[in-house]
Structure 1
Amino acid sequence: MSAITEQPAPASSRHALPDPGERVPTISWPVVGIFLGAILVFAFSTWAAVTHTLPVPVTIALSAIAIFVLFTVLHDAAHYSVSTHHWVNVAFGRVAMLFVSPLISFKSFAFIHIEHHRNTNDDEGNDPDHFVSGAPMWQLPFRFPVMDVPYLTFLVRNVRRRPRAEVAETVFLMTATVAVVVACALTGHLWTFAVLYLIPERIGMFVLAWWFDWLPHHDLEDTQQENRYRATRNRVGSEWILTPLLLSQNYHLVHHLHPSIPFHRYVATWRRNEEAYLERDAAIGTVFGQHLDPDEYRDWKQLNGKLARLLPVRMPKRSSAHVAEFHPIPVASVDRLTGDSVLITFDVPAGLREEFSFQPGQHVTVRTDLGGEGVRRNYSLCTSATSDTLAIAVKQIPGGAFSTFAMEGLRAGDTLELMTPTGSFGTELSPLATKNYVALVAGSGITPALSILRTTLAVETESRFTLVYGNRDSDSTMFREELDDLEARYADRFRIVHIRSRDVRHPEHLRGRVDRSRLEQLLASDLTAPVDEWFLCGPVEMVTDLRDLLLERGAEPEHVHVELFHGYQKPRVADGFSPATVAVTLRARQYDVALAAGDTVLESALKAGLEAPYACLGGACGTCKAKVLLGSVAMEQNFALSPADVDAGYVLTCQSHPTSDEVHVDYDA
């Protein structure tokens, strides 16, 4: 299982795929608008059906239109595109689901629909929508109106993978639906209910299967895994009527490339990045079904205006600080994540934002004075490095001074001293890269992995990411809803494997811990594809065991990145070490300090009163990294520096003992 090298972009792909330029809004008012409009139309058709005010065909048409429109609400909710608030998406999705198909729960629909995104055009049963998109033409009229049947079948096949509460909700909905139909039949209202709902719902299902499933995918041979640009098509022409009629699903390719974008922004995204899509041989068809290659489309486009310009990708920036140093930073908010963890977001002053820019996987050191006791702790940044947000997640440790303070006493408006970002857990990103990443984490080890995967999925639009995440149970899972959102938005490129040790409702084959035996199991089943970069974060024993297994399986050491909760805290002795003179370059000044036998380079600097950067003192965080310019040292342990860093002369000063009479280290290098 050796890591593979970065795959070069195809010769035709001269540009990186830019950021789509769209974000999930706090609330998508167009979605709210069509939701309210559809509910009002359905209420009117209900009144018409009960009072027999309108002709039956008109009543049926109104209800069918309302149901068709509500599917777009359901669709955006399933991708968490209605709002940045998780519960808002769930609320809209659950209501819309009752109209579209009350035989299945919203959460079950979202799971199945994400599998469609992940396995588009797969004809081996992994794409539920292939029931329509891959059907012979003569069968389509019979398959369109029963599109919910393959979804129910898919759910039954995967029922053991789903939470019991979700399955119970589906069973309840199916039972309630049957009960309503039976009650209407027994009371003589079955025809009214059929006119109001049963017939319109089947008509709506027919149109949805035709417009959302068949038109974008039929006759395309590539699967989403093989070529995401040719697994779904855009349909151009007559857009003045087609776009509002299909609620922008004529730009369905944009949706599959960027699932988190609200439906009303598909067209703007296509126009923004059009040339980048064309360079990747995007699948395009006309309103009349003619297939266009990129050159043919460009010729066709000349009739409708100029090509849209290509925008650059936003890349993460490094801190502008020459050496790590502390600054007082106000706390913007403290939000509860789980029963024993909080998310702390900082309000970085404008003048310090460049110094607090960071690379994915980096961390900050927090320093504060709690009741006269100086506390210094190291926490990974958990936000995307392309965002303007600086945040850490703190999990309470029994007896932990700062974690207890963060849970019980820290408030918005308080000020903490933060060291500028340090660490090198992540890797360099390239917009043109096509890589396969895997993160193996446990508990609060999710924090650096979350920053890495968020940034990677945004910057490397062709790369894939798998997260294996170990926790006790669902309630103890940090960032559970955020991860659900990410999996929905990057359906074909991001996958989560939850491992839970104390959840009897969790699938049996995924119960336990993220340990050596579990990784061996995953390597034989879920992680069979070559992996370019591994990220391991968690307790020392877990990380070291997993790293050893990966190296045994052929992974290259420089592609297995480790981050520990803390390093080994070994008692140090003076035996075997001699005194030395250490020259320390720090903030462009050189200091000569005496080092006693057994002390580390960092200890000698601190004893001399220098503000040398450090955090964990266990060789795990990399905050005390410096370059040896003269002499030599021996490190006791190293969990933070890559082989390339060591070859370049960098050391962890908290672990370094001089092996020469004189040593010169440079913290500014």
Structure 2
Amino acid sequence: MAKTATLTDAGETRAFWRRWELPTWAVAIAIYASWATLLIYHESVPWPIEALLAAYILAWHFSLQHEAIHGWRSLPAWLRTAIVWPPIGGWWPFELYKRSHSKHHRNTYLTYPGEDTETQYHKREDWSGYTPAFRAVLLFNQTLLGRLTVGPILRLRKLVLVEGGKLRRGDFSDVPAWLGFFVGLAGVLWFVTQVAHMSVWHYYLVWVLPGISLGLLRAFIEHRWGERPGERTASVESNWIFGLLFLWNNLHIVHHLHPTMPWFEIPGFWRRNREKLLTHNGHFVFPGYFAIARRWLLRPVFVPIHPAR
């Protein structure tokens, strides 16, 4: 009888956690608390350690934004948007990220340039029109070292080109999102400069750029061209440090098949269905990010000319 009661209590506890998604609340609180604490005490931390911690916090916030796009369904959309909206990452309005990433999840278009908003591939005719120097930069970006160093610059360049192109065409649909972003950013930078006594330059060089860089680590190998859409999405079986950072989105094939699955249920689903998932994605799997670094730190993961375009 006692054993039955214990199992019942455990089941009710899991149901409560699942219903209210308490792990996601815990992550949100941890992110904003650690962000404010590190800012306030940054002068007591050596800058290399500060940059590492800051990168983790900002990349973690980006993962939380990703979760708010797909999951956290225990909250109404307006509330989860409000929680993740503060632009502490400093470079991209959440509304635009949500719109772009939703297009990326059309799985039959994965990796297609012009269709997939997150692809690293280029059309063959576009590639042939690039200068040799730009092709060299793009090829370096296909190494892990390149993705972590020039990758953030290329990502910001793409953002400027896309948004600037819309304005030149007379498309002002993104202007409200940018206005709201700059209002929010002003509040973030007020806290940075007036409360934490940190310069804006320091925040962008030691916090924002490393945060973008660390976020690009996850995306480095998660998609490649394959004849079947299922073969285009990888999984990286990493440790808890990276798993928590990316909210287990490193097990990416699970996310693309079940995008609304809460992040804290992904590892268990992966373990229970690993062989089926690997059959589905053509065994596109890696044992961790260190294994990826050993293979592609200085070698391109693929030449970014799309085989079918």
Higher percent of residues as strand = 1
User: How far apart are residue 282 of structure 1 and its match?
Assistant: 4.7
Distance 1:94 1:39, change over 3 A: same
Provide the residue aligned with 2:70 in structure 1. 79
Q: Within the alignment, does 1:120 sit opposite 2:120 as a pair?
A: no
User: How far apart are residue 263 of structure 1 and its match?
Assistant: 1.8
> What code does the residue aligned with 2:222 have?
P
Deviations 1:633-657 (A, max 9, x none): xxxxxxxxxxxxxxxxxxxxxxxxx
Gaps of 5+ in 2: 1-14, 124-137, 294-309
Q: Within the alignment, does 1:34 sit opposite 2:27 as a pair?
A: yes
Deviations 1:166-186 (A, max 9, x none): 53121342477589879x99x
Gaps of 5+ in 1: 1-21, 291-669
Q: Distance in 1 between matches of 2:188 and 2:209?
A: 17
Aligned partners of 1:128 and 1:150 also within 8 Å: no
Provide the residue aligned with 1:66 in structure 2. 57
Percent of aligned pairs with the same residue? 20
User: How far apart are residue 205 of structure 1 and its match?
Assistant: 0.2
Provide the residue aligned with 1:137 in structure 2. 140
Aligned partners of 2:88 and 2:188 also within 8 Å: no
Provide the residue aligned with 1:229 in structure 2. 230
* Match of residue 46, structure 2, among 46, 55, 73: 55
Q: Distance in 2 between matches of 1:176 and 1:37?
A: 20
Provide the residue aligned with 2:200 in structure 1. 193
User: How far apart are residue 54 of structure 1 and its match?
Assistant: 3.0
Aligned partners of 2:85 and 2:94 also within 8 Å: yes
Aligned partners of 1:71 and 1:100 also within 8 Å: yes
Aligned partners of 2:248 and 2:267 also within 8 Å: yes
Alignment of 1:154-173 (within 5 A): 154-155=162-163, 164=173, 167-173=175-181
Alignment of 1:339-418 (within 5 A): none
- Calculate the TM-score normalised by the size of structure 2: 0.66
Q: Distance in 1 between matches of 2:221 and 2:73?
A: 24
Higher percent of residues as helix = 2
Give SS of 2:41's match. helix
Q: Distance in 2 between matches of 1:163 and 1:27?
A: 38
Deviations 1:122-147 (A, max 9, x none): 1x233232248994235533123553
Provide the residue aligned with 2:302 in structure 1. none
> What code does the residue aligned with 2:31 have?
A
Alignment of 1:567-606 (within 5 A): none
> What code does the residue aligned with 1:147 have?
R
Distance 1:161 1:26, change over 3 A: farther
Q: Distance in 2 between matches of 1:289 and 1:116?
A: 23
Q: Within the alignment, does 1:214 sit opposite 2:220 as a pair?
A: yes
Distance 1:227 1:249, change over 3 A: same
> What code does the residue aligned with 1:38 have?
I
Distance 1:84 1:37, change over 3 A: closer
Aligned partners of 2:152 and 2:212 also within 8 Å: yes
Provide the residue aligned with 1:88 in structure 2. 79
Provide the residue aligned with 1:353 in structure 2. none
Q: Distance in 1 between matches of 2:245 and 2:187?
A: 35
Larger radius of gyration: 1
Give SS of 1:81's match. coil
* Match of residue 94, structure 2, among 101, 106, 111: 106
Q: Distance in 2 between matches of 1:46 and 1:245?
A: 19
Give SS of 1:221's match. coil
- Calculate the TM-score normalised by the size of structure 1: 0.33
User: How far apart are residue 215 of structure 1 and its match?
Assistant: 2.6
> What code does the residue aligned with 1:33 have?
A
> What code does the residue aligned with 2:116 have?
D
Q: Distance in 2 between matches of 1:70 and 1:91?
A: 13
Distance 1:173 1:243, change over 3 A: closer
Query: RCO higher in 1 or 2 (8 Å CA, sep ≥ 6)?
Result: 2
Distance 1:215 1:195, change over 3 A: same
Aligned partners of 1:25 and 1:81 also within 8 Å: no
Aligned partners of 1:144 and 1:205 also within 8 Å: yes
Distance 1:45 1:154, change over 3 A: same
> What code does the residue aligned with 2:272 have?
R
Alignment of 1:474-553 (within 5 A): none
> What code does the residue aligned with 2:243 have?
T
Q: Distance in 2 between matches of 1:85 and 1:176?
A: 21
Q: Distance in 1 between matches of 2:273 and 2:185?
A: 45
Aligned partners of 1:121 and 1:127 also within 8 Å: yes
> What code does the residue aligned with 1:203 have?
P
Deviations 1:559-611 (A, max 9, x none): xxxxxxxxxxxxxxxxxxxxxxxxxxxxxxxxxxxxxxxxxxxxxxxxxxxxx
